[in-house]
Structure 1
């Protein structure tokens, strides 16, 4: 079966749908014939995307939602099931970046990354999965990790930590769904994008010159390096098509650029197998990019 056979006619809920890979996933879900619920803290962005999809003959609802707030995510689930219908696909995508040395990172910036990238996924699972289980119909959960979820990268530690956490959360969730006996209709999948065009680097946090001794130049240099990589990154709509087809074929790890991400996985596995500590490359810069 292909992606249209599986997902067409269903409801997709996408957090962080206002830009980047989230918007690409929403547009492709619409092309497959799904009704889409567009959630983002940027209400204007998802309203514009809703208008675009509706103008193209699709069904879309936009909701401003801060995934850091469990009550807001619970309200998103309540409204979706009440006004749109049972969810066939939940995509926990919302995410932010952070640059700079870990010891220079403002506490507020650390909390922002963890609250959005990790707790946002947890809130999504907690709000939607019990309803999916109760519906007893086939349903999918995609949690957005990253190539950074299988890598070690200097000057992006909060983001990398968060994406390792999302991958572990998703792997554990898969086992728990199996243990509880719901894997006959609940499909949990981990998404690991490589370099996909988005505004995540422009919107990323950095370090403040007000913090004594903070190396602002290092943070800015890493941002510039990631922006340079973005120029050759994958189009979000192309990435979405790849992910939907992989999901339809039943894979657990969904990879936008299989060769690139598999290479990072292999390197990570070999480092763990041989107990090799992380090594700097190219003066500490990382030559891949996240979603």
Structure 2
């Protein structure tokens, strides 16, 4: 029997991409699932599919950018499952273009989903996790963009780097409390998904990058393989989850640039998956 059997996982952005991979993998472990997304038809279809495989899966449509809806997601979870063991703050969207050409509405959309979604998840669920008095784990989905900046991706870079900072702060605070709640931040490179479909492209340069990223992402790591790596990290209570190891030299160069106070230099970085590449600072 899996050690995860019967535990409860809440996953936002569950209807596609990374979220769907996490849901399918967790279902295979025998976990009880509460899945959330704004895409109701795809969310219901996923729940029906998982239920057809014998999994306990509940659907709760919610906009993570709305604090009241995330609180409803928490209350829904408690009502259906009695508590929470794993919280995946995973929902995210993409926006490309020169940072000065991206409109206010697009910036606010990215901040609302990618950052406010994680903030709302933490504010709504962490008090519950602490009150339960048992081991629990929060997993926040950032990106390699949370560690490396790329041109034409300013809102994504900004929101994902904020998620990394928020996650690290939460880790320190829970450690100070000696709480039984652990934290991980997931920073993947290309993962096969349709996230580029959420992009509201701004300008010719944004459109060109969109095509490059879409091709790279579609050739990326499968969501199920990513989920396998994520659950292995959770079992080890690792904070940093970096599935694409070939990006580490780029991270080292960035840190060295900071220490040397030298100007950053942008370059493409080859991804771990055959045929895939990604942009990095």
TM-score category by the smaller chain?
A: over 0.9
Q: TM-score, normalization: structure 2? A: 0.93
- The CA RMSD measured in Å over matched residues stands at 1.7
Q: Which of 184, 190, 195 is residue 200 of structure 1 equivalent to? A: 195
1-side partners of 2:56 and 2:64: how far apart?
A: 23
Structure 1: give runs of 5+ residues left out of the alignment. Answer: 208-215
Matching residue of 1:181: 178
Matching residue of 1:278: 264
Matching residue of 1:145: 142
2-side partners of 1:96 and 1:70: how far apart?
A: 18
For the 8 Å contact 1:40–1:63, the answer to whether it is kept is: yes
Matching residue of 1:256: 243
Q: Which of 204, 208, 222 is residue 217 of structure 1 equivalent to? A: 204
Number of residues of Structure 1 aligned to a counterpart in Structure 2: 273
2-side partners of 1:144 and 1:244: how far apart?
A: 13
Q: Give the 3-state SS of the residue equivalent to 1:103 in structure 2.
A: coil
Q: Give the 3-state SS of the residue equivalent to 1:26 in structure 2.
A: helix
For the 8 Å contact 2:150–2:279, the answer to whether it is kept is: no
- Change in CA separation of 1:172 and 1:111 when aligned onto 2, cut-off 3 Å: same
Q: Deviations over 1:167-213 (max 9, x none)?
A: 0000000011122331xx10111111111011111221222xxxxxx
**Offset at residue 287 of structure 1 (A):** 4.1
Higher RCO (Cα < 8 Å, 6 or more apart): 1
2-side partners of 1:105 and 1:256: how far apart?
A: 30
1-side partners of 2:279 and 2:22: how far apart?
A: 18
For the 8 Å contact 2:194–2:218, the answer to whether it is kept is: no
2:74 matches 1:88: no
1-side partners of 2:199 and 2:216: how far apart?
A: 15
Q: TM-score, normalization: structure 1? A: 0.90
Q: Which of 173, 177, 185 is residue 190 of structure 1 equivalent to? A: 185
Q: Which of 25, 29, 32 is residue 28 of structure 1 equivalent to? A: 25
For the 8 Å contact 2:85–2:135, the answer to whether it is kept is: yes
For the 8 Å contact 1:194–1:289, the answer to whether it is kept is: no
**Offset at residue 249 of structure 1 (A):** 1.5
2-side partners of 1:190 and 1:128: how far apart?
A: 16
2:21 matches 1:37: no
For the 8 Å contact 2:267–2:279, the answer to whether it is kept is: no
- Change in CA separation of 1:76 and 1:124 when aligned onto 2, cut-off 3 Å: same
2-side partners of 1:263 and 1:113: how far apart?
A: 28
1-side partners of 2:2 and 2:102: how far apart?
A: 44
Structure 2: give runs of 5+ residues left out of the alignment. Answer: 269-275
Matching residue of 2:271: none
Output aligned runs, 1:53-92, within 5 Å. Answer: 53-92=50-89
Output aligned runs, 1:233-272, within 5 Å. Answer: 233-257=220-244, 259-272=245-258
For the 8 Å contact 1:196–1:289, the answer to whether it is kept is: no
**Offset at residue 263 of structure 1 (A):** 3.1
1-side partners of 2:67 and 2:138: how far apart?
A: 18
